[in-house]
Amino acid sequence: MRKVLLYYLFTPVADPEAVRLWQIALCEGLDLRGRIIVSEHGINGTVCGDIESCRAYVRRTREYQPFHDLEVKWSSADEQVFPRLRVKVRAELVSFGAPGELRVDEHGVVGGGRHLSPAQVDQLVAERGDEVVFFDGRNAFEAEVGHFAGAVVPPVEHTRDFVEVLDRGDYDDLKHRPIVTYCTGGIRCEVLSALMRARGFDEVYQIDGGIVRYGEQRGDDGLWQGSLYIFDDRKTITFSDHAAQVGRCALTGAPTTTYYDLDRLPDDLVTALGHAPGDVGQVLLCDDVVARYAKAR
């Protein structure tokens, strides 16, 4: 059994390259794998390893004063979910393509949406009903297997597309409604909510801890529907044994929650899906389709 850590912290970092080298040495010494991004705005990472190594990693990372308040979300995996360790310095912790717009101080992102706990999210909806808009801050394909009830899902392929969508005015009709932004662990909404507020959206919220925190506390008995897409070998996770199957097979329309990498599928199946052999990306497929094409090879 392995543990998977997911975390981020917006705080000024004076020397991102020094932090990168320190994180590499720390993770290699603890036999942790994963992905970590460091910038002048803070740190964003997910790593996997045995429980004692993960505990040591959290403890030692928090010893660095700027990261003292680092909050970490824990989950479990049967085996290592990352093939290698990658630690990089980038201009942005999340690639919105707007590093010049983001302001960060020791308290986090300046001008972001108000944080709501899962209970406060439910309370807001109970009090204001259909006036509340859930706004998905992820890439559109992630919402295919799970989303909040009635959510607005912008048709974006990459996080950097959000700025163009907002500047184009596609959602200007929502500027005076209460908007709850949400994403996997919360980091994308730290930035997205600030970008929205800077563009005149006057009541913007974000879920503290993202979908992960909401699912941990409410399971599938709240406003979340389906599975959660995650960026490691597990592909998706659920929060209970009665999660709704929101996803649909790209070929048959049958319910499914399973993503497959296009470049690992038989060429005839890739062609049937409207792609060319060698294309990269992910697609939702039911087990029957995959088994049928595998048998025909």
Q: What is the pLDDT of residues 274-292, one digit of tens each?
A: 999 999 888 999 989 988 8
Q: How far is Cα 257 from Cα 65, in angstroms, rounded to an integer?
A: 41
φ/ψ of 166, rounded to 5, equals -70, -45
Residue 110: predicted pLDDT: 97
Same domain for 121 and 225, yes or no, is: yes
244 burial (CB, 10 Å; 0-12 / 13-18 / 19+) is middle
> How many Å from the N-terminal Cα to the C-terminal Cα in the chain?
35
110 and 224 within one domain: yes
Q: Rounded distance, CA 160 to CA 170, Å? A: 15
The one catalytic residue among 183, 189, 249, 286: 183
Number of separate domains in the chain:
3
Contacts of 127 (CB under 8 A, 6+ apart): none
Tell the residue number behind the tokens 């992102």, with chain if given. 109
User: Residues 214-240: what's their mean pLDDT?
Assistant: 94
- pLDDT for res 112: 97
- Do 159 and 32 reside in the same domain of the chain? no
The C-alpha angle with vertex 42 and arms to 37 and 44, in degrees rounded to 5, equals: 40
Indicate if 109 and 61 belong to the same structural domain. Answer: no
183 part of the active site: yes
Instruction: Quote the domain boundaries for residue 39.
Output: 2-89
Residues 6+ apart with CB under 8 A from 72: 5, 6, 7, 58
139 in the same domain as 192: yes
Out of 69, 89, 109, a domain closes at 89
Residues 193 and 216 in one domain: yes
Domain co-membership, 178 together with 274: no
Q: What pLDDT sits at residue 297?
A: 44
Average the pLDDT over 81-107 and give the result.
Answer: 95
Residue 12 structure tokens: 């000024």
pLDDT tens digits, 254-264? 999 999 999 99
Q: End of a domain among 186, 206, 237?
A: 237
Summarised one tens digit per residue, pLDDT across range 38-68 is: 999 999 999 999 999 999 999 999 999 999 9
Which one-letter amino acid corresponds to residue 216?
E
How many Cβ atoms sit within 10 Å of the Cβ of residue 284?
20
Q: Would residue 246 count as lying in a domain?
A: no
Same domain? 268 vs 211: no
Query: The pTM is what?
Result: 0.89
Same domain flag for 68 and 109? no
Q: For residue 17, is pLDDT > 90?
A: yes
Q: Across residues 142-157, what is the average pLDDT?
A: 97
Question: Given 237, 268, 283, which residue is the final one in a domain?
Answer: 237
CA 69 to chain centre: 20
Q: What is the domain-level CATH number for residue 168?
A: 3.40.250.10
pLDDT band at 296 (very low <50, low <70, confident <90, very high): low
pLDDT, position 262: 93
CA distances to 30, 87, 163, 211 from 146, rounded to whole Å, are 34, 29, 23, 10
Can you give the pLDDT at residue 295?
62
Pairing of strands 179-182, 204-207: parallel
CATH classification of the domain holding 46 = 3.30.70.100
Question: How confident is residue 294, by pLDDT bands cut at 50, 70 and 90?
Answer: confident
| Three-state DSSP class for residue 2 | strand
pLDDT range class, residue 234, cuts 50, 70, 90: confident
